[in-house]
Amino acid sequence: MGIKKVGLNRNVEPQTLSEKVFFLDFMKGLKTTIKHLFRKVITVDFPFEVIEPAPRFRGVHGLRNVDGTERDDFDAWVKKLKIKPPEMGETRCIGCKFCQAACPVPEIFVIKTKKLDVPEDHPHHGLKVLDRFDMDLSKCMFCGLCTLACPTICIIHTDIYDLSTYTRRGWVLDKEMLSKIADDFIARRGKEKYDDKSNWPDWQKIWNDNDTARAKAWDNDPPQFGPNYIDQQ
C-alpha cells in the first residue's frame, strides 16, 4: 500500500513536437472512435425488446397464496396469530403487520383482520381472517425491508416496474390485486427465485443467462455463470 504520484511528467508524457505538428493526438482519438464504428449494436430496442429483470429485482409488490411450498414454521405462525388455517390458494398473509413495522413509511399499509362470524361449535370459532390489505405504492421506495420482515414469505417483490397510472387511486393496490400480481409472477418466474426454504436459495442466478436482450448490453459477450464459493455446485 503506498502513495502513487500522478501528474503531467509523472505518469503522463507531455506532447512531443511531432505529435503537435502532425495532430497525432487527434489521429489516435479518431482511431479509437473508428474502431467502435464496426462494433455490433449494444442498445436494446425497447419496447419491442425487453430485458428481463433479475430474479431479485425489487419491483411492484405481491401477496403470495398458499401453494404447498411454505416454510415448516408456517403452521406455527398461523396458530400463534389465531388465523383460520388457509386452504390451498388462499393468502399466506397472517396479518402480523411485521411488514408495516419494518417499513420506513408505515402509512403505505392498511392491514386489518376480522373475526370469523361462525357459531360457537364451528372449528373456526374465534379465529380471524385477513380483511384488508391495501398498499399505497406512490409512497414506496422499494427498499425491500417489508419482504425481509415477512415471516411467511407472503409479501414479495415481483419484476413489474411500470407503475404509471392516471390517478393516485391507481397506485393503491388491494389484496385481490396484490394476490393476482404474485400468482402471475410465481407462475412465470417462481422457479427462478424461490425454493420452499427461503428467498435466497444458493442456486438463484444473478440474472437469467439466456436472455438475449441482456447479452446485447454486454457487447454480445455475456459472462458464463459458475459457482461463487468453493463448495457450491
Partner 1 sequence: MSWVGLDKLNKLKERFDYVQINESDKGFHSVEVPKENFKDFLKFIKDNKDYQFKMFIDWTIIDHGAKADPRFQGVLILFSPEYKERIIVKTWATEETLPTLTDLWAGAKWAEREAWDMFGIRFEGHENLVRMFMWETYPYHPLRKDFPIQGYEEVELPSLNEEERADQLEGLQNYSRKHTALPTMQDLEITQKKRLPHKKSQIVLNWGPLHPGTHGTIWFLFDMEGEYVQQCDIIIGQLHRGVEKLAENLNVQQIIPYTDRMDYIASMNENHSVCIAAEKLLGIHEKIPPKAKYIRTMLAELSRINSHLLWLGTYALDLGALTMFLYTFREREKIMDIFEGISGARFTINYFRVGGVYADLPYGSLNAIEHFIKDFPTRLSDYETLLTRNRIWLKRNIGVGVITEEEVYSYGLTGAVARASGVPYDLRIIDKYDAYGEVKFDVPVGENGDAYDRYLVRIDEMKQSVRIIQQCIKELRKMSKNDPFFYQPEDKKMKITIDGRGTKLFKGEVYAGADNPRGELGVYIYMPKDGIKPYRFRLRSGAFYNLQIFPKLMIGRPIADAITILSTIDPVVGETDR
| Interaction residues for ligand SF4, span 125-184 (CB under 6 A) | 140-146, 149-150, 152, 154-155
> What residue 203 binds from ligand SF4, partner 1, none (CB within 5 to 8 A, per partner kind)?
partner 1
Task: Please give the grid coordinates belonging to residue 144.
Answer: 425491500
Distance, in Å, from the CA atom of 148 to the CA atom of 133, rounded to the nearest integer, reads 18
139 to 60, 98, 136, 190: CA distances (angstroms): 12, 18, 6, 26
Distance, in Å, from the CA atom of 41 to the CA atom of 219, rounded to the nearest integer, reads 8
**Interaction of residue 34 with partner 1, rule CB under 8 A:** no
Decide if 114 contacts 123 (C-beta within 8 A): no
> What residue 6 binds from ligand SF4, partner 1, none (CB within 5 to 8 A, per partner kind)?
partner 1
> Cβ closer to partner 1: 78 or 96?
96
Q: Find the binder of partner 1 among 50, 76, 118, 145 (CB under 8 A).
A: 145
**Interaction of residue 134 with partner 1, rule CB under 8 A:** yes
Q: By rule CB under 6 A, what count of residues binds ligand SF4?
A: 25
> What residue 140 binds from partner 1, ligand SF4, none (CB within 5 to 8 A, per partner kind)?
ligand SF4
DSSP category for residue 220? T
**Residue partners of 43: CB distance under 8 A and separation at least 6:** 216, 217
**Residue partners of 118: CB distance under 8 A and separation at least 6:** 124, 125
Task: Please give the grid coordinates belonging to residue 9.
Answer: 511528467
Q: Find the binder of partner 1 among 18, 46, 88, 107 (CB under 8 A).
A: 107
Q: Find the binder of partner 1 among 19, 183, 184, 195 (CB under 8 A).
A: 19
Q: Give me the sign of the Cα torsion angle 8, 13, 19, 24.
A: negative
Distance, in Å, from the CA atom of 86 to the CA atom of 91, rounded to the nearest integer, reads 7
**Least distance from ligand SF4 to the Cβ atom of residue 149, Å:** 6
Tell me the window of 47-55, 90-98, 177-185, 196-204 that interacts with ligand SF4 (CB under 6 A). 90-98
Tell me the window of 25-33, 67-75, 79-87, 178-186 that interacts with partner 1 (CB under 8 A). 25-33
**Interaction of residue 231 with partner 1, rule CB under 8 A:** yes
Contacts with ligand SF4, residue ranges (CB under 6 A): 93-99, 102-105, 108, 111, 140-146, 149-150, 152, 154-155
